[in-house]
A = this chain, B = another copy of it.
Amino acid sequence: MEKIVSLCKRRGFIFPSSEIYGGINGFWDYGPLGAELKRNLRETWWKAMTRDREDVAGLDATIIMHPAIWKASGHVSTFADQMLDCKTCKGRFRADHIHSIACPQKPSKTVADCHGEKTEPRAFNLMFKSHYGPIESDDNLCYLRPETAQAIFAQFKNVVDSSRQKVPFGICQIGKAFRNEITPRNFTFRSREFEQMELEFFIKPDEAIRIAQGSVEQWSESADLSEPKPNWGWEMWHRYWVAQRTAYYHSIGVPGDVLDYHWQTPEELAHYARACVDILFKFPFGTDELEGIAARGNFDLSQHQKHSGKSLEVFDEELRAAANKLDDAAKESFVAQVADEWAARASKNNHPEEGARSEARAFCEKLFKGIYIPHVIEPSAGLDRLALAILCIAYSEVEKADPKGNVEKVTIMRFHPRVAPIKVAVFPLLKNKPELVAKARSVFEMLKKHLAADYDEGGSIGRRYARQDEAGTPFGVTVDFDTIGENGPEMVDTVTLRYRDDACQERVKISELLQRLLPEIG
């Protein structure tokens, strides 16, 4: 890991924020190569979510939102760590860490064992607080969003009203989020300011599928997840998104063997969640979460409907038409069945069965009119974590002999061409030969109209290759004496195309370069 951190600083992928002022714990900046890498990752995700699909719309909401949103979401009351203070050293520590943290005054002892008198643990909310407007009072307290998802729920109605999307459909967003982590760690993995890429995919309740389609398709190991079907309930949709997101990771060069999946156990699941799977990545410091994909029921929209007093229900013409075809007996038997199911679930969770039954009845009455609050599947990915994963996969060292036979270790960043910050570098063999330089410049100008290109004439050609290998540039183009016809007419206007990963070279016509490179990148 240290080697990756050091390369990131040396080559301008990632710097500590505010480094000339000693840095600020938990904040990281992306340098020239890192900013391009991150842009490419954002772009691939956004393209996979919106351009390549017709059922997802984008959103770009503010970081500071109405504080009531965080009451509705539960973040004000529960997004907290338990902390205790030591009255002796004045330190504040996470209650679940005191057995492993050294006492600042007596480092031979842990905080749990030292003699300092501790307070009882108290909840410490992880949201950054601020105030808006001219007066700093509780009335205009606001929060930096700890996730981008809530804006999607808050704007659900506006998106439905202004677009032609109908359930099932999704709203996605990329943006900054903030968590005042007590102990930021593992380079950029757990930072206080980070970027999320979140999708809320809204689906019909399973009960609506039963009315409109007769039954809900059951998931099995052999289920076909390639194309959504009208009889899918939450489970198929959830499995579908796990498959989609896995395919996305593969498409940007994250192979299956560095990923892992953790299916949350009933004890781990949030009370409202039906299922949640974490997509894990094998980082050098341990296997940890890259993305969570949760089936959240209709918890979020219900909470916002309750707290805002605004209806977040949708009307589903197809559902109403199907319900209208049921006779009273069929409706009654449907309601009875749903009530039984809800009561059974309530009883399992130690909630009163009768309440669940009457809720089920009210829910079914609305369903028969074609009205419901959509359920949601939430694939929520961390952009900085993905960038770090991509850096970890790409990093490799090989031993190389220089012309004198000295062996040295060199670094190659094996980025997938789709996410590489620079796609191609163009080199004149020598910089003091004007014909070579002019030709190389013209090749460079031609390529850079279509892809991120670099031009480099400084130092030996070997050194320039090494520089681009470290930056992760997948292709190199060298203009040499053959190109300008000094060794006969056959090779005129051909160049050497060099592949970063195996250092293989081949001769390619300049006029064919683009059609060779573009398909690798697109």
Contact = CB atoms under 8 A, between A and B. Distances in A.
Interface of A: 9-12, 15, 17-36, 38-39, 46, 50-52, 54, 57-66, 68-69, 83, 92, 124, 128-135, 142, 144, 151, 154-155, 157-159, 161-164, 171, 173, 176, 178, 180, 182, 192-193, 304, 307-308, 310, 312, 448, 452, 455-456, 458
A24 B65 contact: yes
B134 A17 contact: no
A66 B17 contact: yes
A63 B193 contact: yes
- Copies of this subunit: 2
Contact of A62 (B28, B63, B133): B28
A163 B32 CA distance: 8
A4 to B, nearest CB: 15
Contact of A159 (B31, B50, B193): B31
A493 B281 CA distance: 48
B59 A31 contact: yes
Contact of A308 (B9, B20, B33, B135): B20
28 contacts: A12-B158, A12-B163, A17-B62, A17-B66, A18-B65, A18-B68, A18-B154, A19-B158, A20-B154, A20-B157, A20-B310, A20-B312, A21-B69, A21-B154, A26-B132, A27-B64, A27-B65, A31-B158, A32-B163, A34-B60, A35-B58, A35-B59, A39-B58, A51-B452, A83-B134, A128-B130, A128-B132, A130-B130
Contacts of A312: 20
A46 B36 CA distance: 10
By Cβ-Cβ distance, the 10 closest A-B pairs, closest first, are A12-B162, A18-B66, A32-B57, A30-B60, A29-B61, A35-B58, A35-B60, A20-B308, A21-B66, A92-B134
Contacts of A131: 128-129, 180
